[in-house]
Chains A and B, each alone.
Chain A
Amino acid sequence: VFPGVRQAQWLTKTKLVEGLPPAVQGITDNPALGLQELEERAKQVVSHARLWDTAEVAPRRERYCPVLFENLIHICRLMSGKYPSLSKRMLARNCRVAATWERESILLQVRGLSGILMNSMTPIPPVASKEEILATKEHVLETFYPIAPTIDLQEVNVYKELNDTGFRDGYPYSHPHTLFFLESANVRTGRFRPEQLRAKMLMFAFGNALAKARALHGNDPKVLEQPVVVQSVGTDGQLFQFMVFQLNTTDLVSNDGVKNLVWIDSDQNLYERAQCVPEVKKGVVTKPAGISGFQPDTFKKFLALYLHGTV
């Protein structure tokens, strides 16, 4: 229908940068992490999720998408044997977030179940330097004249302008670290397409960051001394979308001034295909059973986003 991410950028006053930020890239290139051995485990884990996890012939997406996610997170979590500070993380499922803001006299709101959220005791340090943040002042937000930027958004009467992180005060794991979105509906029409998924990831990363910034620094719109960084990962069980969002300002009404930043690495396949039963044509096996086309880089990015902020 409408290029989703560009609309989300206008709504959240954000500038887009293609690819992952250098801080995260640096983690994938770090040899001390022993990423080669983990590749074997990652391959096994994909085989488990896509081929072995059911007594039936093939698991369905509703099953294999969450199982693949749990398996990948299990591998990442096991690294806390080597890096004990990783245990200062807690996964929260079905958490609700609420954030309200104004853009050019339009009142916008992000509310609802924001997928699976990993919280951390320590915040992720800002990924963009002060100069890069100031440079966003020059950036002009793309407008969509004559289409209103709120097209396709649900119009509701808002009685309470809510800002809620989803957790009570005193929660020790108080910094939202990474959001995970699993598009696991079996039927294709029940799943978000990649562009829409990325837009949803951006809106919820923004919502969580905004609610956290308001909880830390109050409700007055201002440029943040300490930008808030929230990451997002979206997948349908095979294709992964990676995103790092940095909230630089809560002054969102006008179109000028410092903008927020988002780095997006889209459409990364973890593997090419998963064949549960070998395909045989005229007595010859054309496609053997198993996982083919495994891409270790995608797994490395997943792990790098997990480790970001601690390692």
Chain B
Amino acid sequence: AGAPGAAKTPEPSAGAAPYPDIGELRTLACDALLQESFYQSKQRPFLYRDQDHTPGPFLTQLVSTLAASLSGHNPLLAASSLDLNPEVNYYWHHGEEVVVHGHRKGRVDPVRFQIDDNPHLQIRVPKQLPEVVPLESDLGDVPVIDHKPSKLPLFKKQYENKVFIGSKVADPCCYGHTQFHLLPDRLKRERFIKERLEDQIEVVYRSNGIASLFAWTAAQAMYQGFWNEADVTRPFVSQAVVTDGKYFAFFCYQLNTLALTAETIENNPRKNICWGTDSKPLYDVVEDGHVKGFNDEVLLQLVHFLLNRPKEL
């Protein structure tokens, strides 16, 4: 079984129109952060639920106020649908294995994968995002992995085989724009540093970005009628932001092919592509009602993401 894409360098920025006021947006972001971490009286966070206390609400506030504020600059946002805690599912076959025991022993079966994802927040839109590179581009090789997917923690449990983008097929907002993922407490940076696994920190962000975006774009493609025997005729592009509340990593994914089963992958030269950044902090610390060390670069990248839209708009 192989991973469905190859991670690459930072992605190109989006369309230009009259620029929004960065100072205003910075104020909105700081206000959201200060409200959740300082001004609102809250009780102590529950055990191992630190993410629900401040980072979660902050992310929700940040995205909803920024998206609303930028909707004047991006008509796609003005027609968007904002989902809180949606479900995203995708089911596919890739590779083959031999059945080990039972009455079907010895037969060859496709290996089944199911992703069940719960982004913190996602924006769905009625028009597709433009392609980043042409459909047939080849930007590198895909690593090959020989052991079964159930050896990886992601694919152990498979209960129901579902394909879902966050809303049913009847919804006019059937294309994905941006997802926002909040890392859980057990994957906190401090834990990695304590166990001297600093090199694994970026892996968490990247794997989340690739897996979630693949599932989302592939499910969107299925909603449009494509499947592994009728491959996509246009690339499906979506974006994701993975964060732990302070550090943000940005990802952009282009789905070029759904044909991953043993039969269809043989003559399929297309590859799916994911571009991503390393995680960078949005701010240093919140002290006494002030945000110290606010990083405009991260905010700008977020604004670029939200402003992304097809060229005709």
| A and B physically associate | yes
Interface residue ranges, A against B (CB under 8 Å): 44-45, 47-48, 51-55, 66-67, 70-71, 74, 77-78, 80-82, 84, 87, 90-96, 164, 166-168, 170-173
- Interchain CA distance A90-B68 in the complex, whole Å: 12
Q: Which residues of B contact A70 (CB under 8 A)?
A: 82, 84
Instruction: State how many angstroms separate the Cβ of B167 from the closest Cβ of chain A.
Output: 5
B190 interface residue, CB < 8 Å from A?
A: no
Which of B40, B70, B162 is within 8 Å of A95, CB to CB? Answer: B40
B185 interface residue, CB < 8 Å from A?
A: no
Instruction: State how many angstroms separate the Cβ of B192 from the closest Cβ of chain A.
Output: 30
Q: A90-B65, A172-B31 are in contact. Are A67 and B84 (CB under 8 A)?
A: yes
Q: Which residues of A contact B238 (CB under 8 A)?
A: none
The answer to whether B168 and A52 have CB atoms under 8 Å apart is: yes
Q: Which residues of B contact A47 (CB under 8 A)?
A: 170-171
Which of A51, A55, A77, A171 is within 8 Å of B64, CB to CB? Answer: A77
- Interchain CA distance A211-B218 in the complex, whole Å: 52
The answer to whether A92 and B40 have CB atoms under 8 Å apart is: yes
Q: Which residues of A contact B32 (CB under 8 A)?
A: 90
Of the listed residues B38, B81, B164, the one surrounded by the most CB atoms of chain A closer than 10 A to its CB is B81
The answer to whether A167 and B68 have CB atoms under 8 Å apart is: no
Q: Which residues of A contact B28 (CB under 8 A)?
A: 87
Residue of A nearest to B164 (CB): A55
Residue of B nearest to A89 (CB): B65
Q: Which residues of B contact A170 (CB under 8 A)?
A: 39, 289
B interface, by DSSP: helix, strand, loop or mixed?
Answer: mixed
Which of B41, B78, B171 is within 8 Å of A48, CB to CB? Answer: B171
Q: Which residues of A contact B86 (CB under 8 A)?
A: 53
Residue of B nearest to A67 (CB): B84
Question: Can you report 15 A-B residue pairs in the complex whose CB atoms are below 8 A from each other?
Answer: A45-B81, A47-B171, A51-B168, A52-B168, A53-B168, A54-B168, A80-B69, A81-B69, A81-B78, A87-B69, A90-B31, A90-B32, A90-B65, A93-B57, A173-B31
What 8 A-B pairs are tightest by C-beta distance, nearest first?
A81-B72, A77-B68, A52-B168, A81-B71, A171-B39, A55-B164, A52-B167, A52-B171
The answer to whether B84 and A173 have CB atoms under 8 Å apart is: no
Instruction: State how many angstroms separate the Cβ of B25 from the closest Cβ of chain A.
Output: 10
The answer to whether A82 and B72 have CB atoms under 8 Å apart is: yes
B87 interface residue, CB < 8 Å from A?
A: yes
Q: Which residues of B contact A74 (CB under 8 A)?
A: 64, 68, 81-82
Q: How many residues of B contact A (CB 8 A)?
A: 37
Q: A48-B81, A70-B82, A167-B39 are in contact. Are A91 and B61 (CB under 8 A)?
A: yes
Instruction: State how many angstroms separate the Cβ of B303 from the closest Cβ of chain A.
Output: 14
The answer to whether A166 and B171 have CB atoms under 8 Å apart is: no
- Interchain CA distance A164-B172 in the complex, whole Å: 45
Name B109-150 residues within 8 Å CB distance of A: none
B220 interface residue, CB < 8 Å from A?
A: no
B89 interface residue, CB < 8 Å from A?
A: yes
B105 interface residue, CB < 8 Å from A?
A: no
Q: A81-B78, A87-B69, A90-B31 are in contact. Are A53 and B39 (CB under 8 A)?
A: no
The answer to whether B61 and A44 have CB atoms under 8 Å apart is: no
The answer to whether A168 and B167 have CB atoms under 8 Å apart is: no
Q: Which residues of B contact A53 (CB under 8 A)?
A: 83, 86, 167-168
- Interchain CA distance A20-B144 in the complex, whole Å: 66
Q: Which residues of B contact A54 (CB under 8 A)?
A: 87, 168
- Interchain CA distance A82-B35 in the complex, whole Å: 25
Q: Which residues of A contact B57 (CB under 8 A)?
A: 93
Which of A52, A55, A91, A164 is within 8 Å of B41, CB to CB? Answer: A164
Residue of B nearest to A86 (CB): B68
Name B158-208 residues within 8 Å CB distance of A: 162, 164, 167-168, 170-172
The answer to whether B35 and A173 have CB atoms under 8 Å apart is: yes
Residue of A nearest to B167 (CB): A52
Instruction: State how many angstroms separate the Cβ of B102 from the closest Cβ of chain A.
Output: 30
Q: A166-B40, A170-B289 are in contact. Are A51 and B170 (CB under 8 A)?
A: yes
Q: Which residues of B contact A166 (CB under 8 A)?
A: 40-41
B42 interface residue, CB < 8 Å from A?
A: yes
- Interchain CA distance A94-B86 in the complex, whole Å: 21
- Interchain CA distance A47-B61 in the complex, whole Å: 24
